[in-house]
Amino acid sequence: MSNVVDTRDVVRESVPFWNVNVPREKWTDECPDYLANIDESDRRHLSLWDDEYKVQGWEEVTEIIRMD
């Protein structure tokens, strides 16, 4: 078992949610006002990197709605 740390994970953990999936040259140190008071669910969604996103099929979407 290896203890090697994937540097992408370290970088990802240190990027504030408002800079995720934003080109590095457009990153800001401060959270934009329009994102400052979002709820935790929205924050989690905005923190999801593009390569972590999973497209949901129609059946899965209708099941999620049904559970609500």
Is residue 17 within 8 Å of residue 42, measured between CB atoms?
Answer: no
Q: Which residue has the tokens 């800001």?
A: 28
Structure tokens at 17: 């949610």
The token pair that represents 50 in the structure block: 């593009």
Residue 53's pLDDT is 84
Tell me the domain boundaries of the chain: 7-67
pLDDT score for 28: 96
Look at residue 68 in the predicted model and tell me its pLDDT.
Answer: 63
**More confidently predicted of 34 and 7:** 34
Q: Which residues contact 64 (CB under 8 A, 6 or more apart)?
A: 56
Residue with tokens 């669910």: 41
pLDDT tens for 8-56 read 655 677 899 999 999 999 999 999 999 999 999 999 989 999 988 888 9
